[in-house]
Chain A
Amino acid sequence: MILDRNILFNIILGAMIFITVPSLAALGENRLDAYMSLFTLEYLTALAILRPRRRIRDLLALALTSIFAVIVAFRIWEVLMR
C-alpha cells in the first residue's frame, strides 16, 4: 500500500512533536519558546520535504513562521540589551 503523502506528513509531524516534548522535558528545558521554535522547524521541514496539499492557503505555516520570527527577534533584542 502506498501511503498518501498528505497522511504521511501528519504522521511524521505527530511523531516529531511527540518525540520533541519528552526529549526537551528530559533535558530540563523550561522555555516555551524553545518548544515552539522546534515545532516550527519540524513543521516547515516536513512541509518542504513532503509538500502536502492544503485545502486552503497554509495559514498554519504562516502563523508558525511569524511566531518563530518574533521569538528570534526577542532573543536578538535580549542579546543586544545586555
Chain B
Amino acid sequence: MDRFNAFGASLAAFGAVFALFSHLMVSSIPLTALGLGILILGLSILITPTEPIPRGAVRGLLEGSALSLEAILEMVDAPNRGYYVPHGDGRIYVHIPLAGDRGPIYPETPTGSMVAEKDGEPYIILLPPASEFVRMGDLPEDLESAISEALTGLTELCESVEVARGEGVALRVRGPRALIGAGRFRLVMGSLEASVAACIAAARMGRPVRIASEEDDGKTRRIILEVIP
C-alpha cells in the first residue's frame, strides 16, 4: 500500500468514526451524512490504483519486445547464450557470440554498434526487454529486493521469487507467468524472468552476467546466474 492508498484508508476510518460520533452523540443527520460521504471518498481512494499502466500491460509489452528479438535472433541464427553487460550509458546490453564464444566484450564495450568482434569472432549486441528498468530508479538498491520487486511487483512475471547470492546468483521463481514460446530467445537470452533478473544483476553488480542454467520443475523455475569476473 502506498501513501495515496494509506491516505484513503485513513480518510475512510475518520469518516466512519465521524459518522458514528455525529449520529450517536450529536444526532445530526447532515454531519452523519458528511461522515458517510468521507467514508465513501476514502474507500474510493483506497481501491484506486496508483500505477498509470496496469502491470499486466507491462508484462505484455515485455513479451512483445521478446518476440521482436526472437525474430532478429532467428534471422542471424544465434547459437550461443548471450552475456548481459553493463555499458557506460547505464543500459544493459546482451553480447551474443555468433560463432566461437570468447566471453563478453568487456570492459572495452563497443558503443552505438549492433555488430562487434572479439578476437576475430563476430558478436551481435542487442538491448534486452528489461534494459530500461535498471535506469528508472524505481527499484531498491540491494540486488535481492530489486529482483523480487521487478519480477513480482513491477512486471508481475511470477508469483514469488527467492534470491540467494554466492559465487553467482541463484533464483527460485514460483508461478512464472510469461506465456511466450520464443524458443530462440530462450536459448540465447533465457526465459523472460531470467532475462529481467540477469539485467538487474548485471546493473547492481557492475559485472557481465550470463544465465548458466534454467530448470523447470512443475510450477517452479530454478535459474542460476553466472557473474563473469
- A: residues with CB less than 8 A from B are 4, 6-7, 9-10, 13-14, 17-18, 20-22, 24-25, 29-32, 35-36, 39, 43, 52-56, 58-60, 64
* Contact A32 B48, beta carbon cutoff 8 Å: no
Report the nearest B residue to A30, measured CB to CB. B29
Please give the distance in Å from A58's CB to the nearest CB on chain B: 7
Q: How far, in Å, is A66 (CB) from chain B's closest CB?
A: 14
Decide if B33 is an interface residue (CB 8 Å cutoff): yes
Report yes or no: A53 in contact with B44, Cβ–Cβ below 8 A.
no
Is B30 at the interface (CB under 8 A from chain A)? yes
| Bound-complex Cα distance A53 to B50 (A) | 9
Instruction: Name the residue of chain A whose CB is nearest to the CB of B32.
Output: A32
B52 within 8 A of A: yes
Given contacts A25-B30, A32-B33, contact A10 B41 (CB under 8 A): yes
**Which single residue of chain A is at the shortest CB-CB distance from B48?**
A6
A14 and B41 contact, CB distance less than 8 A: yes
Provided the pairs A24-B30, A52-B48 are in contact, do residues A35 and B41 lie with their beta carbons within 8 angstroms?
no
Query: Smallest distance from the beta carbon of A78 to chain B beta carbons, Å?
Result: 18
Query: Which B residues touch A9, using CB under 8 A?
Result: 44, 48
Residues of B within 8 A of A52 (CB): 48
Residues of B in contact (CB 8 Å), total 19
B44–A60 touching, CB < 8 Å: yes
Q: Which residues of B contact A21 (CB under 8 A)?
A: 30, 33-34, 37
Contact B29 A54 (CB under 8 A): no
Residues of chain B within 8 A (CB-CB) of A39 are 33, 36-37, 40
Contact check: which of B33, B38, B40, B49 meets A54 at CB < 8 Å? B49
Are A35 and B49 also in contact (CB < 8 A) when A20-B37, A43-B40 are?
Answer: no
Residue in contact with B47 in the complex, picked from A24, A30, A55, CB distance below 8 Å:
A55
Given contacts A4-B52, A31-B29, A55-B48, contact A36 B36 (CB under 8 A): yes
Q: Which residues of A contact B40 (CB under 8 A)?
A: 13, 17, 39, 43, 60, 64
- Of B30, B43, B52, most buried by chain A (CB within 10 Å of CB) is B30
CB distance from A22 to the nearest CB of B (A): 8
Given A6-B48, A52-B48, A55-B48, does the pair A13, B33 have CB atoms closer than 8 Å? Answer: no
A-contacting residues of B (Cβ < 8 Å)? 29-30, 32-34, 36-38, 40-41, 43-45, 47-50, 52, 54
21 contacts between A and B (CB under 8 A): A6-B50, A7-B48, A9-B48, A10-B44, A10-B48, A13-B41, A14-B41, A17-B41, A18-B37, A21-B30, A32-B32, A35-B29, A35-B36, A35-B37, A39-B37, A53-B49, A55-B47, A55-B48, A56-B47, A60-B43, A64-B40
- Whole-angstrom distance between the alpha carbons of A73 and B3 in the complex? 39
Residues of B within 8 A of A54 (CB): 47-49
**Known interface pairs A17-B38, A30-B29; 13 further A-B residue pairs with C-beta atoms within 8 A, sorted by A's residue number:** A6-B50, A10-B44, A10-B45, A21-B34, A22-B30, A24-B30, A35-B37, A39-B37, A53-B54, A54-B47, A58-B47, A59-B47, A60-B43
